[in-house]
Chain A
Amino acid sequence: MKDIGQVHNPYQDDKVIDACSLFGAMNTSGRRFSGEDITRAIANMHDRSNGLGGGFAIYGLYPEYADLYAFHIMYLSQEGKTQTEAFLKTKFSIAYDEQMPIRTAARVASPPLIWRYFMDASHHKPEDRSEEDYAIDCVMEINTRLEGAFVFSSGKNMGVFKGVGYPEEIADYFCLERYQGYLWTAHGRFPTNTPGWWGGAHPFGILDWTVVHNGEISSYGINRRYLEQFGYQCTMQTDTEVIAYAIDLLVRKHGLPVEIAARVLAAPLWDDIERLPAGEQELLRTLRQVYGSLLLNGPFTVIIAHQGEMIGLTDRIRLRPLTVGTKGDMLYLSSEESAIRLVCPDVGKTWIPVGGEPVVGRLGAPLQPESVAASGSDATLLEEGQ
């Protein structure tokens, strides 16, 4: 899509501001479940959004195509589709593609044409480029160069579904009750302008990383400039996009464990760092010295997900809500506890994590306390095991 910035941010604000409802559910044993409960949970927080954006990310979605890139693409014109498909054919082997199944009776306004593709990149990528970087290049190419096309989901065995409407309307439109996944995140959006553009809804993602976000990153200006040094083009002008790229840089490119990456995005206070044992102190001090420009400052809660992991994180003084619930091998993250109790009335334990402390749910290593270098972290450790 040419000039996403213009489409997504028509008034050329510094960044697109929105606030929201968040919900995430993960079965850490990998058991897949349908979207019905997720939809009920996010609908329960209806008033936190205003009908201008809703979306879902589902992991473990396409086991039959688990090794193929699953691209979900919105088209604003038939020409965009023709051009994009010609481009995709030169870059990938397309195993299967189809129009996204939808419920035409659903109450949504002006949906674009949405198509999905299952593709293999391994035979096409240049030798000196990793498959991931190659796939990202192709996504960036379509999103910034081709007119009328926008890739909004590009991972393997996962998918993003989103659009303009309340999240329950979007779930209805995409028939999400028919899909199964072991990890779901959901978002209801309350933007302060009216872009009316389906690509602007959350989750945002790149490859299989997705972010749903409630908040406003007041450090956006420097976070963005810092990431641009590493070749990220912040075309959407949202702070959510910045979070996705920051995670991609720290975890995928710089190889940091996600718990450490969380300590960059929501760095502990210097005073707290100085009270830690020498080794942790040095680690956290160095992280902050080197990655200070990636500190996400301002009110936020995010649920970051990728294959096998779901991470909940708030800003370091927790200016936006996050509640955690666990029940057996289920982990719930939610803006409001009510949504957890609605879908899991006998939830075992709920708590509000300390600001800046990540809550990590991991496939196969379920709900164990993380021994991350942390200060005063008791409140966030997943004390209740299996």
Chain B
Amino acid sequence: MKTYLPAKFMVERDPERCIQCQVCVNQCTFDVHRHDPDQEMVRSGEENCVGCHRCAIFCPTRALAIKRNPLDYRENYNWRPEVIEDIIKQAETGGVLLTGMGDDKSQRIYWDHLLLNASQVTNPSIDPLREPMELVTYLGQKPERVEVERHSLSLKTKIAPQVKLEVPVMFSAMSYGAVSLNVHESLARAAAEAGTLWNTGEGGLHPSLYKYGGNTIVQVASGRFGVHSEYLDAARVIEIKIGQGAKPGIGGHLPGEKVSAEVSMTRMIPQWTDALSPAPQHDIYSIEDLAQLVYALKEATDYAKPVSVKIAAVHNSAAIASGMVRAGADIIVLDGLRGATGAAPKVIRDNVGIPIELALASVDSRLMQEGMRNRASIVVSGGIRNSGDLAKAIALGADAVYIGTAALVALGCTLCQQCHTGKCAWGICTTDLALTKRVNPDIGARRLANLLRGWSLELKDILGGMGVNAVESLRGNRLHLRGVGLTDTELEILGVRMAGS
């Protein structure tokens, strides 16, 4: 069938600069560039170009420019090009539209409507270059009170296991199989260097990475891939994955082509078979079932590790989160509408769930109202782009955030949204060994650790400007936020006042 899809991008090659070196041919995984042996010429066929920039960045003479194809439709606010082209794709394939990364639509990004405070006159701002500035965060269940023996002043309270983060930013769950082993190694090493945690996702932990167990969150998801006692024992935190923001209510599908020998071993499934994660966990059909799994995992690990429960942010997150805390979760993770994925039905990604800012505000408020905020840490993910978003998330009530997309961007990702194809030209979201070596773990770990360092320094500046020198004084401190351009209802849900008031 002839496709009616137009090319999205144009490739412009400057013939004066091109030296026919074929780097672009080798770098492109979407067959955009090819070498014509008859004419000794490199040519480009742009219909396949996804706009990932791999060729342009690696072209030694900067001969390539990638531009949007200016093939305009008649203007129509309703029938936008993407809407038209999605219909064309389905008319030609009859299938579910798959995509990668997070929701790219124009739903309101609340971070951009929240502004932070700073000290002027009545209290001094604090210069983090000259004064201590503390970002240390402990995740885990805290008791309501501490008991101290009055005479010896010794501690009587035995506190549940806590996990120390030097910086309240962790790497989000991305499974081995979805991303490569080199990506996992980069994340693990960066987490170890920065004093934070990375998350295996639901694909198990490769044996070569057990040495980073102290910085590892292992996931137990609906497919139970790679879950065994050594895996649980190796971890610092165990996370039960109920859902993720990119595809709430939907399971996962790792195509058999990505299940290489190493992935097969790590996931404990036959090579080249599809890895299907059921939509629900089939032993969790209710909140009391969740409690059973939480305590089964705690039993299995001698109550030595916090157990986290991750859900997608959905309409009644506050009530669900309250139930999760009652079910014994030490950490609750909320993954918002913009949370990313290696593959999801596009209609789910872009239409299901709620923005993380609203979910976070309502969950934190609900746990406060119920007097049980101390009983679990709150971690949020799904669209944290920079340290400004991080500070605002903490002020709304988060103990820490997860970053996934931002971490992949640090490794080279340009959000071309082709993760589901397995052809990632940057070697991130693929298990093709020819491609995965494009992420060098030495360099990858460096880039990720640099990112965390940069955000830490910026968060310290933000805290110091507010006149506080510890991150817990910002956590849940919504008086340090003001809203702009929001309705009264939005402000009320966020628990934030209008700027100027």
Assuming the contacts A283-B154, A289-B142, A297-B470, asked whether A256 and B148 have C-beta atoms less than 8 A apart, the reply is yes
Answer yes or no: A385 CB below 8 A from chain B CBs. Answer: no
- Assess the B153–A371 pair: CB atoms within 8 A: yes
Across the A-B interface, give the 4 residue pairs with the lowest CB-CB distance, nearest first: A221-B479, A297-B473, A292-B472, A219-B473
Known A219-B472, A290-B143; further 5 A-B contacts with Cβ < 8 A? A192-B122, A218-B123, A297-B467, A298-B467, A371-B153
- Assess the A222–B159 pair: CB atoms within 8 A: no
Kindly state the separation between the CA atoms of A48 and B377 in the bound complex, as whole angstroms: 42
- Chain B residue, CB-CB nearest to A289: B138
- Assess the A292–B475 pair: CB atoms within 8 A: yes
Answer yes or no: A117 CB below 8 A from chain B CBs. Answer: no
Chain B residues in 8 Å Cβ range of A292: 470, 472, 475
Kindly state the separation between the CA atoms of A307 and B467 in the bound complex, as whole angstroms: 33
- Chain A residue, CB-CB nearest to B134: A270
Q: List the one stretch of B169-177, B198-206, B366-374 in contact with chain A.
A: B366-374
Answer yes or no: B466 CB below 8 A from chain A CBs. Answer: yes
Chain B residues in 8 Å Cβ range of A276: none
Write out, one digit per residue, whether chain B residues 470-486 have a CB within 8 A of any chain A CB (1) or not (0): 10111111111000000
Answer yes or no: B299 CB below 8 A from chain A CBs. Answer: no
Chain A residues in 8 Å Cβ range of B136: 270
Kindly state the separation between the CA atoms of A77 and B138 in the bound complex, as whole angstroms: 51
Answer yes or no: B216 CB below 8 A from chain A CBs. Answer: no
Answer yes or no: B146 CB below 8 A from chain A CBs. Answer: yes
Kindly state the separation between the CA atoms of A251 and B225 in the bound complex, as whole angstroms: 50
Distance in Å: Cβ of B180 to nearest Cβ of chain A:
36
> Can you list 8 A-B pairs with a CB-CB distance of less than 8 A?
A216-B122, A219-B473, A256-B146, A267-B470, A269-B132, A270-B136, A290-B374, A295-B473
Chain A residues in 8 Å Cβ range of B374: 290
Answer yes or no: B398 CB below 8 A from chain A CBs. Answer: no
Kindly state the separation between the CA atoms of A283 and B158 in the bound complex, as whole angstroms: 10
Instruction: From the candidates A192, A215, A260, A317, name the one contacting B469 in the complex (CB within 8 A).
Output: A317
Assuming the contacts A221-B476, A221-B477, asked whether A260 and B371 have C-beta atoms less than 8 A apart, the reply is no
Write out, one digit per residue, whether chain A residues 215-255 have a CB within 8 A of any chain B CB (1) or not (0): 11011111001101110000000000000000000000111
Q: List the one stretch of A11-19, A64-72, A125-133 in contact with chain B.
A: A11-19
Instruction: From the candidates A192, A221, A373, name the one contacting B478 in the complex (CB within 8 A).
Output: A221
- Chain B residue, CB-CB nearest to A228: B368
Answer yes or no: A6 CB below 8 A from chain B CBs. Answer: no
Kindly state the separation between the CA atoms of A173 and B497 in the bound complex, as whole angstroms: 40
Chain A residues in 8 Å Cβ range of B145: 253-254, 290
Chain B residues in 8 Å Cβ range of A269: 132, 134
- Assess the B146–A216 pair: CB atoms within 8 A: no
- Assess the B148–A283 pair: CB atoms within 8 A: yes
Answer yes or no: A299 CB below 8 A from chain B CBs. Answer: yes
Assuming the contacts A229-B373, A271-B132, A297-B473, asked whether A290 and B159 have C-beta atoms less than 8 A apart, the reply is yes
Kindly state the separation between the CA atoms of A303 and B142 in the bound complex, as whole angstroms: 30
- Assess the B134–A255 pair: CB atoms within 8 A: no
- Chain A residue, CB-CB nearest to B154: A279
Kindly state the separation between the CA atoms of A290 and B157 in the bound complex, as whole angstroms: 11
Distance in Å: Cβ of B363 to nearest Cβ of chain A:
14
Chain B residues in 8 Å Cβ range of A256: 146, 148
Chain B residues in 8 Å Cβ range of A101: none
Answer yes or no: A384 CB below 8 A from chain B CBs. Answer: no
Answer yes or no: B147 CB below 8 A from chain A CBs. Answer: yes
- Assess the B134–A17 pair: CB atoms within 8 A: no
Instruction: From the candidates A12, A220, A229, A316, name the one contacting B501 in the complex (CB within 8 A).
Output: A12
- Assess the A229–B371 pair: CB atoms within 8 A: yes
Chain B residues in 8 Å Cβ range of A299: 123-124, 467
Assuming the contacts A220-B479, A221-B477, A297-B468, asked whether A283 and B123 have C-beta atoms less than 8 A apart, the reply is no
Chain B residues in 8 Å Cβ range of A373: 153
Grouping DSSP codes into helix (H, G, I), strand (E, B) and loop, the B interface class, with mixed when no group exceeds half, is loop
Write out, one digit per residue, whether chain A residues 189-220 have a CB within 8 A of any chain B CB (1) or not (0): 00010000000000000000000000110111
Instruction: From the candidates B155, B162, B469, B477, name the one contacting A222 in the complex (CB within 8 A).
Output: B477
Distance in Å: Cβ of B466 to nearest Cβ of chain A:
6
Kindly state the separation between the CA atoms of A372 and B470 in the bound complex, as whole angstroms: 23
Answer yes or no: A286 CB below 8 A from chain B CBs. Answer: yes
What range describes how many residues of A lie at the interface?
A: 35 or more
- Assess the A230–B122 pair: CB atoms within 8 A: no
Answer yes or no: B150 CB below 8 A from chain A CBs. Answer: yes
Answer yes or no: A10 CB below 8 A from chain B CBs. Answer: no
Write out, one digit per residue, whether chain B residues 178-202 have a CB within 8 A of any chain A CB (1) or not (0): 0000000000000000000000000
- Assess the A222–B153 pair: CB atoms within 8 A: no
Chain A residues in 8 Å Cβ range of B478: 221, 225
Write out, one digit per residue, whether chain A residues 286-306 have a CB within 8 A of any chain B CB (1) or not (0): 111111110101110000000
Chain A residues in 8 Å Cβ range of B470: 267, 292, 295, 297
Distance in Å: Cβ of A133 to nearest Cβ of chain B:
16
Write out, one digit per residue, whether chain B residues 347-374 have a CB within 8 A of any chain A CB (1) or not (0): 0000000000000000000001001011
Instruction: From the candidates B148, B474, B497, name the one contacting A260 in the complex (CB within 8 A).
Output: B148
Answer yes or no: B119 CB below 8 A from chain A CBs. Answer: yes
Chain A residues in 8 Å Cβ range of B497: 14
Answer yes or no: B126 CB below 8 A from chain A CBs. Answer: yes
- Assess the A257–B146 pair: CB atoms within 8 A: no
- Chain A residue, CB-CB nearest to B468: A297
Kindly state the separation between the CA atoms of A50 and B479 in the bound complex, as whole angstroms: 27
- Assess the A218–B119 pair: CB atoms within 8 A: yes
- Chain A residue, CB-CB nearest to B136: A270
- Chain A residue, CB-CB nearest to B364: A225
Answer yes or no: B72 CB below 8 A from chain A CBs. Answer: no
Chain B residues in 8 Å Cβ range of A225: 368, 476-478
- Assess the A283–B155 pair: CB atoms within 8 A: yes
Distance in Å: Cβ of B142 to nearest Cβ of chain A:
5
Assuming the contacts A218-B466, A221-B479, asked whether A19 and B159 have C-beta atoms less than 8 A apart, the reply is no
Kindly state the separation between the CA atoms of A226 and B155 in the bound complex, as whole angstroms: 22
Answer yes or no: A95 CB below 8 A from chain B CBs. Answer: no
Answer yes or no: B36 CB below 8 A from chain A CBs. Answer: no
- Assess the A289–B153 pair: CB atoms within 8 A: no
Answer yes or no: A319 CB below 8 A from chain B CBs. Answer: yes
Q: Which of A260-294 contact B (CB under 8 A)?
A: 260, 267, 269-271, 279, 282-283, 286-293
Distance in Å: Cβ of A72 to nearest Cβ of chain B:
29
Distance in Å: Cβ of B162 to nearest Cβ of chain A:
6
Answer yes or no: B131 CB below 8 A from chain A CBs. Answer: yes
Q: Which of B322-365 contact A (CB under 8 A)?
A: none
- Assess the A218–B468 pair: CB atoms within 8 A: yes
Chain B residues in 8 Å Cβ range of A12: 501
Chain B residues in 8 Å Cβ range of A317: 126, 131-132, 469
Kindly state the separation between the CA atoms of A289 and B157 in the bound complex, as whole angstroms: 12
Kindly state the separation between the CA atoms of A42 and B154 in the bound complex, as whole angstroms: 39
Instruction: From the candidates A216, A222, A270, name the one contacting B473 in the complex (CB within 8 A).
Output: A222
- Assess the B122–A293 pair: CB atoms within 8 A: no
Chain B residues in 8 Å Cβ range of A254: 145-147
Kindly state the separation between the CA atoms of A299 and B467 in the bound complex, as whole angstroms: 8
Assuming the contacts A19-B122, A271-B132, A293-B475, asked whether A282 and B148 have C-beta atoms less than 8 A apart, the reply is no
Distance in Å: Cβ of B491 to nearest Cβ of chain A:
14
- Assess the B142–A290 pair: CB atoms within 8 A: yes
- Assess the B472–A282 pair: CB atoms within 8 A: no
Chain A residues in 8 Å Cβ range of B159: 286, 289-290
- Chain A residue, CB-CB nearest to B145: A254
Assuming the contacts A289-B142, A297-B468, A319-B124, asked whether A257 and B473 have C-beta atoms less than 8 A apart, the reply is no
Kindly state the separation between the CA atoms of A256 and B476 in the bound complex, as whole angstroms: 25
The interface centre, meaning the residue of B142, B147, B153 with most chain A CB atoms within 10 A of its CB, is B153
